[in-house]
């Protein structure tokens, strides 16, 4: 990383290249494609949370006029066990069963059959004509009950993984994980003060506004083109190929514009069904989930039960910390308990700690990634406990965190030593921020909390084309969820030394550009950005060579400065610099079109830390919470597009506050989700929130040419505890469980007698 930070365009906030189409309704999202001859597919879903499928009779539906195809579990190839690979992980066979149940349904809303028909109405009527006979089983809905030795089993072949020896009988505990260092018993003995807490959080959904949708078009040779909203069309292609036992080369995936994902659009649900229906019908099949389907049958994030114990000396030094954490996986193994366990103590330099984490099957939808998967839940527990610890020690909560904060060289709880990180700078900024010292109105409270996410790199490809007039087209493979085209253009413009307006970025389909992993893990600006920069460097090298050829000098006698090839000092002073446009105009004579390429597996994603300050007011008669002010401070490494970095901080804050205050999956005793809609799954609306203040800290990531750290996930982590700590400060009562809904707050206040 060069010291000079005198950037021309990086750190500005220009209008995104795809903007006009998105404010005029032209941009095409998942459900916006209509093909000639298109028919509609719909899914029949289980009315039971746990049942064995005895019989499925599709004959009446198949005979209906206007019905083209009916499929159910028996029509699918047997998917082999094996890792899906890529970002999402998990088991292929589980994925296959999750998108279409075979012998058992494991949650209310689990797909059991699908139809394609001339119209949505006929498809609905066909679904109603499918007969399914179930043997209803007792649902396992509560995480503690699921872990009990005598609990009904979701999967008779589930033997807990990662134990020293394979257990002798199956259980709902799919896997355990432990992290430990030092001697916690001794650590607690050294402590002057010990706090303990127990925290429960129900499942929550990403709540992207666009329901999943796709159009699949299969030809007579079995080749399919699939248009869909996805965070990663290459990985969707891979999953579809594995689930359907197809050749990847026979599948072309085109990523539509995507209306939000937050991790929820990293796995397939509809796409393989649409391919099968389209193959059977020999027509394009369009499938769209309803909002209810999205809640019931796509992956929310885990509900959790977490216990934390922290001991410290009088001066605030933490001597030991332990955590026990159970994460709901939903119907199939794969809760984010690993990252949750690795994140919980990550901000702190601890000598003695122990974390025990469980991946637990319950009769609820299989969880999917949700923004910093696993970390908001576990760090809510730790950051709440630290708030209590600060109170017991009579210490400022920021000072307590500063006393124990990790910095460069600190051995992270998950293993490696941290390179340069920005936690201490964020804490200093929070302490100095006016939001931390301004007076609070009557009845309000202030809470602070720290957030963290690892961030990932992974594989990316990029191509840079120089058009004949010197304008630049960047082609990459990451769906743009939050303005990443603009970031790519900024990095390309900065590297090439050309104006931002001269660069356009587009997202290629799986046949027109190189492989990229999903847009997720806060990796796109980091990893794909790195590929774009390298591809631009490839262009620069080519331009220098062509300038050298034009001038009849050696390549090392040509420099690239301010978007043009210039002769090195001392080289024939009469030579006029050649701009990108000049070189492009003459490209035919110097070797043909200019095309730069890069592909990489980006390493060295930098961890991103945050500190949030929340001011909340509690109506003591109704338990209602108003958010008065919120400040999000985060280390972005380097903000490429400043406004979109702020937007990530603000959006994460809003999601975290929603999770803290109102969002939850509510189930009845039979395992039916009772609030599968935006009316009662209460995400924040505009009038619920104040302006969200942001402060971007920049501790450049040494592994990225411009210092980028991933920035998208960390913002959702700290708001949960910041809100809980603010309610504690406002009321004097610790409410350990989320959401802190009005009935829960009022009941807690009454129980505490305040």
Partner 1 sequence: MGAFGYVAPSSLDEALAVLSEHADHGKRAQVLAGGTDLLVQLRGVDREPRTIVDIKKLAETNRVQIGASEVFIGAAVPSAVLNENAELAALLPGLVEAADLIGSTQIQGRASLGGNLCNASPAGDTIPAMIAVAAVCVIAGRSGTREMPVEDFCTGVGSNALEAGEFLLGLKIKTPAARSADAYLRFIPRTEMDIAVAGCGVSVTLDGSGTCTAARVGIGAVAPRPLLVADAATALVGSRLDEAALAAAGAACSRAASPISDKRGTEDYRRKVVAVLCRRAAAAARDRALAR
Partner 2 sequence: MSKVQVSTSINGEEVDFLCEPQQTLLDVLRETLSRTGTKEGCGTGDCGACSVLVDGRLVCSCLVLGVEAQGHEITTIEGIATDEGLHPIQQKFLEHAALQCGICTPGLIIATKSLLDRDPNPDETTIRYWLAGNLCRCTGYDKIVRAVQDAAKELAHPA
Partner 3 sequence: MARVVFPNHLLTFTGGEREVEIAAGNFRQLLEALETRFPGCREALGKAAVAIDGQIYQDAFLEPIEPASEVFFMQRIEGG
> Strands, DSSP E only, in 522-607?
558-561, 564-567, 578-579, 594-602
Distances from the Cα of 637 to the Cα of 407, 703, 705, angstroms: 14, 10, 11
443: DSSP letter: T
Contact flags string 156-195 toward partner 1, x per CB under 8 A: ----------------------------------------
Phi first, then psi, for residue 265 (nearest 5°) are -110, 40
Cβ pair 158, 170 in contact under 8 A: yes
Cβ pair 702, 604 in contact under 8 A: yes
> Which of partner 2, partner 1, partner 3, none has residue 661 at its interface (CB below 5 to 8 Å by kind)?
partner 1
Q: Of 659, 99, 595, 651, whose CA–CA distance to 368 is shortest?
A: 99
The reply on whether position 684 binds partner 1 by CB under 8 A is: yes
- Of 287-326, binders to partner 1 (CB under 8 A) are 292
Tokens linked to 640? 């490429």
User: Alpha-carbon torsion 669, 671, 675, 681, what sign?
Assistant: positive
Radius of gyration for the chain, computed over Cα atoms and rounded to the nearest angstrom: 27
Interacting residue with partner 3 among 246, 369, 430, 614 (CB under 8 A): 369
CB of 716 to partner 3, least distance (A): 8
> Which of partner 1, partner 3, partner 2, none has residue 747 at its interface (CB below 5 to 8 Å by kind)?
partner 1
The reply on whether position 448 binds partner 1 by CB under 8 A is: no
Q: Which is nearer to partner 2, 22 or 438 (CB)?
A: 22
Interacting residue with partner 1 among 192, 688, 698, 737 (CB under 8 A): 688
Residues 6+ apart with CB under 8 A from 657: 614, 627, 630, 684, 688, 689, 719, 723
Q: Which is nearer to partner 3, 655 or 731 (CB)?
A: 655
CB of 387 to partner 2, least distance (A): 23
Rounded-to-integer distance, Cα 456 and Cα 372, Å:
11
CB of 617 to partner 2, least distance (A): 16
Q: Which is nearer to partner 2, 27 or 553 (CB)?
A: 27
- Of 594-653, binders to partner 2 (CB under 8 A) are 641, 643-644, 646-647, 650-653
Indicate the Cα dihedral angle 570, 571, 576, 578, nearest 10°.
-120
3-state secondary structure of 59: helix
Interacting residue with partner 1 among 432, 685, 752, 754 (CB under 8 A): 685
The reply on whether position 274 binds partner 2 by CB under 8 A is: no
Rounded-to-integer distance, Cα 87 and Cα 513, Å:
19
The reply on whether position 737 binds partner 1 by CB under 8 A is: no
Interacting residue with partner 2 among 482, 520, 606, 739 (CB under 8 A): 482
- Of 220-259, binders to partner 2 (CB under 8 A) are 257-259
The reply on whether position 31 binds partner 2 by CB under 8 A is: yes
The reply on whether position 83 binds partner 3 by CB under 8 A is: yes
Distances from the Cα of 417 to the Cα of 354, 402, 544, angstroms: 18, 18, 40
- Of 194-213, binders to partner 2 (CB under 8 A) are 206-211
Distances from the Cα of 365 to the Cα of 118, 333, 334, 361, 402, angstroms: 30, 11, 12, 10, 39
Q: Which is nearer to partner 2, 515 or 678 (CB)?
A: 678
The reply on whether position 690 binds partner 1 by CB under 8 A is: no
- Of 129-168, binders to partner 3 (CB under 8 A) are 161-165
The reply on whether position 371 binds partner 3 by CB under 8 A is: yes
Interacting residue with partner 1 among 58, 524, 662, 731 (CB under 8 A): 662
Rounded-to-integer distance, Cα 24 and Cα 483, Å:
16
The reply on whether position 496 binds partner 1 by CB under 8 A is: no
- Of 446-505, binders to partner 3 (CB under 8 A) are 453-459
Interacting residue with partner 2 among 184, 288, 660, 749 (CB under 8 A): 288
DSSP 466-532: E-TTS-EEEEE----SSSHHHHHHHHHHHHHT--GGGEEEEE--TTTS-----S-TT-IIIIIHHHH
Rounded-to-integer distance, Cα 76 and Cα 206, Å:
29
> Which of partner 3, partner 1, partner 2, none has residue 65 at its interface (CB below 5 to 8 Å by kind)?
none
CB of 498 to partner 1, least distance (A): 44
DSSP 741-754: -HHHHHHHHHHHT-
How do the residues of the chain divide into helix, strand and coil, expressed in percent and rounded to 5? 30, 25, 45
Q: Of 509, 451, 419, 496, whose CA–CA distance to 717 is shortest?
A: 451
> Which of partner 1, partner 2, partner 3, none has residue 83 at its interface (CB below 5 to 8 Å by kind)?
partner 3
The reply on whether position 415 binds partner 3 by CB under 8 A is: yes
Q: Which is nearer to partner 1, 145 or 746 (CB)?
A: 746
Segment interacting with partner 1 (CB under 8 A) among 221-229, 274-282, 572-580, 622-630: 622-630
- Of 234-293, binders to partner 3 (CB under 8 A) are 261-264, 266
Interacting residue with partner 1 among 13, 317, 473, 675 (CB under 8 A): 675
> Which of partner 3, partner 1, partner 2, none has residue 124 at its interface (CB below 5 to 8 Å by kind)?
partner 1
Please, what's the largest Cα pairwise distance for the chain?
Answer: 88
Q: Which is nearer to partner 1, 15 or 666 (CB)?
A: 666
576: DSSP letter: P
3-state secondary structure of 194: strand
Residues engaged in binding partner 3 (CB under 8 A): 83, 87-89, 161-165, 175-180, 206, 261-264, 266, 336, 338-339, 342, 369-373, 414-419, 453-459, 520-523, 601, 603-605, 703, 710, 712-713
Residues engaged in binding partner 1 (CB under 8 A): 124, 292, 621-624, 661-662, 666, 674-675, 678-680, 682, 684-685, 687-688, 741-743, 746-747
């Amino acid at each position: 990383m060069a010291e000079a930070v005198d950037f021309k365009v990086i750190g500005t906030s220009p209008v995104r290249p795809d903007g006009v189409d998105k404010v005029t309704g032209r941009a095409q999202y998942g459900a916006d494609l209509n093909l000639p001859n298109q028919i509609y597919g719909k899914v029949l879903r289980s009315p039971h949370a746990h049942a064995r499928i005895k019989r499925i009779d599709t004959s009446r539906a198949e005979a209906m006029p206007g019905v083209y195809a009916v499929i159910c579990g028996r029509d699918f190839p047997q998917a082999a066990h094996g890792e899906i690979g890529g970002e999402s992980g998990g088991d292929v066979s589980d994925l296959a069963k999750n998108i279409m149940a075979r012998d058992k349904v494991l949650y209310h809303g689990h797909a059991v059959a699908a139809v394609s028909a001339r119209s949505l109405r006929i498809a609905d009527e066909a679904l109603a004509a499918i007969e399914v006979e179930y043997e209803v089983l007792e649902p396992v809905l509560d995480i503690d009950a699921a872990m009990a030795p005598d609990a009904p089993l979701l999967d008779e072949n589930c033997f807990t993984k990662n134990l020293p020896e394979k257990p002798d009988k199956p259980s709902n505990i799919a896997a355990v994980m432990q992290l430990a260092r030092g001697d916690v018993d001794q650590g607690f003995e050294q402590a002057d003060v010990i706090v303990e807490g127990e925290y429960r959080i129900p499942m929550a959904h990403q709540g992207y506004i666009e329901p999943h949708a796709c159009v699949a078009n299969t030809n007579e040779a079995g080749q399919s083109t699939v248009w869909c909203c996805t965070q990663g069309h290459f990985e969707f292609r891979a999953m579809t190929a594995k689930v359907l036992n197809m050749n990847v080369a026979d599948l072309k995936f085109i990523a539509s514009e995507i209306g939000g994902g937050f991790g929820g659009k990293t796995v397939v649900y509809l796409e393989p069904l649409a391919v099968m229906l389209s193959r059977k019908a020999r027509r394009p099949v369009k499938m769209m989930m309803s909002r209810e389907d999205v809640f019931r049958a796509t992956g929310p994030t885990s509900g959790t039960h977490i216990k934390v114990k922290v001991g410290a000396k009088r001066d605030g030094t933490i001597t030991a910390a332990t955590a026990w954490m159970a994460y709901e996986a939903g119907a199939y193994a794969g809760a984010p308990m690993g990252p949750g366990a690795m994140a919980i103590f990550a901000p702190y330099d601890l000598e003695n700690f122990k974390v025990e984490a469980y991946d637990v099957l319950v009769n609820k939808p299989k969880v999917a990634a949700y923004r910093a998967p696993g970390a908001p839940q576990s760090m809510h527990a730790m950051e709440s406990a630290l708030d209590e610890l600060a109170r017991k020690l009579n210490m400022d909560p920021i000072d307590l965190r500063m006393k124990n904060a990790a910095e460069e060289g600190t051995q992270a709880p998950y293993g490696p030593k941290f390179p340069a990180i920005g936690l201490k700078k964020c804490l200093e900024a929070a302490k100095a921020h006016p939001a931390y010292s301004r007076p609070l109105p009557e009845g309000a409270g202030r809470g602070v909390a720290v957030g963290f996410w690892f961030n990932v790199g992974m594989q990316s490809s990029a191509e840079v084309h120089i058009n004949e007039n010197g304008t630049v087209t960047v082609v990459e493979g990451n769906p743009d969820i939050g303005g990443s085209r603009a970031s790519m253009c900024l990095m390309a413009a900065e590297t090439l030394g050309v104006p931002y307006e001269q660069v356009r970025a587009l997202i290629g389909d799986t046949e027109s550009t190189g492989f990229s992993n999903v847009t997720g893990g806060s990796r796109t600006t980091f990893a794909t950005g790195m590929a774009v920069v390298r591809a631009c460097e490839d262009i620069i090298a080519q331009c220098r060579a062509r300038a050298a050829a034009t001038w009849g000098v050696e390549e090392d006698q040509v420099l690239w400065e301010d978007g043009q090839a210039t002769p090195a000092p001392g080289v024939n002073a009469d030579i006029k610099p050649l701009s990108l446009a000049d070189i492009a105009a003459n490209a035919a004579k110097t070797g043909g079109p200019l095309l730069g390429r890069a592909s990489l597996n980006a390493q060295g994603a930098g961890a991103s830390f945050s500190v949030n300050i929340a001011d909340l007011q509690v109506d003591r008669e109704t338990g209602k919470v108003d958010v008065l002010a919120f400040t999000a401070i985060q280390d972005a490494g380097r903000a490429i597009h400043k406004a979109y970095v702020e937007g990530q901080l603000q959006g994460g804050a809003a999601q975290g506050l929603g999770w803290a205050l109102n969002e939850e999956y509510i189930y009845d005793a039979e395992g039916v989700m009772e609030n599968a809609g935006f009316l009662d799954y209460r995400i924040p609306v505009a009038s619920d929130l104040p302006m969200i203040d942001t402060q971007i800290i920049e501790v450049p990531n040494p592994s990225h040419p411009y210092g980028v750290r991933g920035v998208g996930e960390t913002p959702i982590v700290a708001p949960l505890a910041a809100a809980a700590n603010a309610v504690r400060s406002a009321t004097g009562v610790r409410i350990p469980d989320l959401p802190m809904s009005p009935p829960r707050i009022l009941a807690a206040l009454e129980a505490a007698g305040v």
